[in-house]
């Protein structure tokens, strides 16, 4: 029997091929959960839902009405929602002095207001469930604990999401609702594939991981899985499945420039 047998889950942010939301959805389905995947692009959602024997819904997390409709659709489809995971995000890399008002509005809508919509919608649904509420997870980032340059708007809004998770854990624990954050670090994925092609970039990060490798999407998915089982007596926490990066901190811009410069010089010599 799978670890999530008989449970239902909603995973928002699973509309890009191979992204973290899709990895989590496949793992949850393999562990017996009924999974509804959601996001903004219908074709990949429909394909994933068919692959895992689940369902899908179109939803933009920046829309209050769409997020609340998603929660209600999942409740109607499955009778209850045992797990809700927000995998959305935008890795805005911008100097504080150069960040535009448009960028600030976009990232606030996505990573602050959107997270609020998500928590509000699923706390409402889970709060009505008996005998237990459910598990809510929002993905954040190791950068909120291990700062990196030119990420002020990103880190600021991610930290805000972590604070809201803590408030949900504190305010709604009596309803059986557990709320936690899961924070990946630099992860090889379709979203970061271009970065991994930069010579020397990974070299700058590797010494920062005590366990000797970058975290994978599967590492993150298994952390989410545990938090959604009945064995996780955990709420209001920021789980860091990133190999200990926060112990040493992220490399800074000068470190990255030096590593990339050294790698480029070596390539030119060869």
Q: Is residue 97 part of a domain?
A: yes
Q: Is residue 198 part of a domain?
A: no
Measured on CA atoms in the order 27, 247, 157, 18, is the torsion positive or negative? negative
Q: Is residue 50 part of a domain?
A: yes
3-class DSSP state for residue 152? Answer: helix
Produce one character per residue of 115-136: b if its CB has 16 or more CB atoms within 10 Å, e if not: bebbbebbbebbeebeeebbbb
Question: What are the tens digits of pLDDT across the range 207-231?
Answer: 999 999 999 999 999 999 999 999 9
Q: What integer pLDDT is reported at residue 190 of this predicted model?
A: 65
State the residue range of the domain holding 97: 8-192+210-248
Q: Is residue 257 part of a domain?
A: no
> How many domains is the chain partitioned into structurally?
1
Q: Is residue 258 part of a domain?
A: no
Of 204, 212, 265, 215, nearest to 240 by C-alpha is: 215
Contacting residues for 142 by C-beta, under 8 A, at least 6 apart = 183, 184, 185, 240, 242, 245, 246, 250
Q: Is residue 39 part of a domain?
A: yes
Q: What integer pLDDT is reported at residue 96 of this predicted model?
A: 97
Low-confidence residues of the chain, pLDDT below 70? Answer: 189-196, 270
CATH number at residue 89: 3.40.50.720
Measured on CA atoms in the order 170, 176, 178, 179, is the torsion positive or negative? negative
Contacting residues for 264 by C-beta, under 8 A, at least 6 apart = 199, 200
Q: Is residue 149 part of a domain?
A: yes
Q: What integer pLDDT is reported at residue 262 of this predicted model?
A: 80
Question: What are the tens digits of pLDDT across the range 43-58?
Answer: 999 999 999 999 999 9
What's the Rg (C-alpha) of the chain? 19
Question: What are the tens digits of pLDDT across the range 236-264?
Answer: 999 999 999 999 999 998 988 888 888 78
Q: Which DSSP letter does residue 111 get? A: I
Q: Let me know: does 3 contact 53? Beta carbons within 8 Å.
A: no
């Amino acid at each position: 029997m799978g670890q999530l047998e008989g449970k239902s889950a909603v995973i928002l942010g699973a509309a890009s091929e191979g992204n973290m939301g899709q990895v989590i959805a496949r793992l949850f389905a393999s562990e017996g959960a009924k999974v509804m995947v959601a996001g903004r692009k219908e074709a990949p959602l429909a394909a994933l839902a068919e692959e895992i024997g689940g369902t899908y819904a179109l939803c933009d997390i920046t829309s209050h009405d769409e997020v609340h409709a998603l929660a209600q659709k999942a409740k109607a489809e499955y009778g209850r929602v045992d797990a809700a995971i927000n995998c959305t995000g935008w890795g805005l890399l911008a100097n504080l002095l150069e960040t535009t008002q448009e960028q600030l509005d976009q990232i606030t809508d996505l990573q602050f207001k959107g997270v609020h919509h998500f928590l509000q919608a699923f706390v409402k649904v889970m709060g009505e469930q008996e005998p237990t509420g459910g598990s809510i997870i929002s993905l954040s980032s190791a950068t909120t604990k291990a700062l990196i340059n030119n990420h002020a708007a990103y880190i600021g809004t991610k930290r805000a999401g972590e604070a809201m998770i803590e408030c949900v854990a504190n305010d709604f624990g009596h309803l059986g609702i557990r709320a936690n954050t899961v924070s990946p670090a630099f992860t090889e994925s379709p979203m970061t594939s271009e970065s991994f092609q930069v010579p020397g970039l990974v070299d700058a990060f590797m010494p920062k991981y005590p366990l000797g490798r970058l975290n994978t999407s599967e590492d993150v998915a298994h952390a989410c899985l545990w938090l959604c089982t009945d064995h996780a007596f955990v709420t209001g926490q920021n789980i860091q499945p990133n190999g200990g990066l926060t112990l040493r901190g992220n490399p800074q811009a000068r470190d990255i420039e030096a590593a990339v410069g050294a790698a480029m010089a070596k390539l030119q010599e060869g």
